[in-house]
Chains A and B, each alone.
Chain A
Amino acid sequence: AQKVTQAQTEISVVEKEDVTLDCVYETRDTTYYLFWYKQPPSGELVFLIRRNSFDEQNEISGRYSWNFQKSTSSFNFTITASQVVDSAVYFCALSEGGGSTLGRLYFGRGTQLTVWP
């Protein structure tokens, strides 16, 4: 079973629209970490955010915001006023456990976001 599910394979929006990328995770551990990465067309993986399981505060960074809800095992990512440069594949990822098991990242399948001018 997938530990990280990104149900949206592709999303297309027009510039300045808001868009939310969904991420649902599955773990039995109480200590875990969640991440979002961006992969622009050039192919490199760019770190966006890290959140640990004990910190449910939502976070905002410029046009980006993240909504972490343990009750629904979701860690959704919203881009406000999208821009063409936001076009990329976005990956949600989970690392679970502590100590020696910590470190393996499980990735979702990614959401391809296309922002049209």
Chain B
Amino acid sequence: DADVTQTPRNRITKTGKRIMLECSQTKGHDRMYWYRQDPGLGLRLIYYSFDVKDINKGEISDGYSVSRQAQAKFSLSLESAIPNQTALYFCATSDSGGAFYGYTFGSGTRLTVV
């Protein structure tokens, strides 16, 4: 099994629908992140969580919400999907130790809103 698992891998949904993207990890990391990738814009941070009781907005949180159900699970919700939320979404985790060794990424969820 992958260290960071995202489900679903691909999803097509209609405008106005609620959709949840799920992320689970077996790394034992405290910190989890949701990023969105659009062509030519790189990866932009949506939300991040440094522990179960800590949730923070990133650069582009409007239209999204998150839930940290447990240390290992961090879900991203689109309450009412719109076409410009069509993107590739990545979940990532990192350790909270003194040094920073970067992220462990999931494989991504390709979301299309029609």
Contacts and interface: CB of A to CB of B under 8 A. Distances in A.
Interface residues of A, number: 21
Chain B interface, DSSP helix/strand/loop, else mixed: strand
- A interface, over-half SS: loop
Contact of A43 (B92, B99, B107): B107
Interface residues of B, number: 26
Interface stretch (B11-19, B43-51, B66-74, B77-85): B43-51
Interface string A43-60: 111010010100000000
A107 B42 contact: yes
20 contacts: A6-B42, A9-B40, A43-B108, A45-B108, A47-B103, A52-B99, A91-B42, A91-B43, A102-B100, A103-B48, A103-B50, A104-B58, A105-B33, A105-B92, A105-B103, A107-B42, A107-B44, A108-B42, A109-B42, A110-B42
Given A103-B31, A104-B45, 16 more contacts: A33-B102, A44-B108, A45-B90, A47-B103, A91-B42, A95-B102, A103-B48, A103-B96, A103-B100, A104-B33, A105-B43, A105-B102, A105-B103, A107-B43, A109-B40, A109-B42
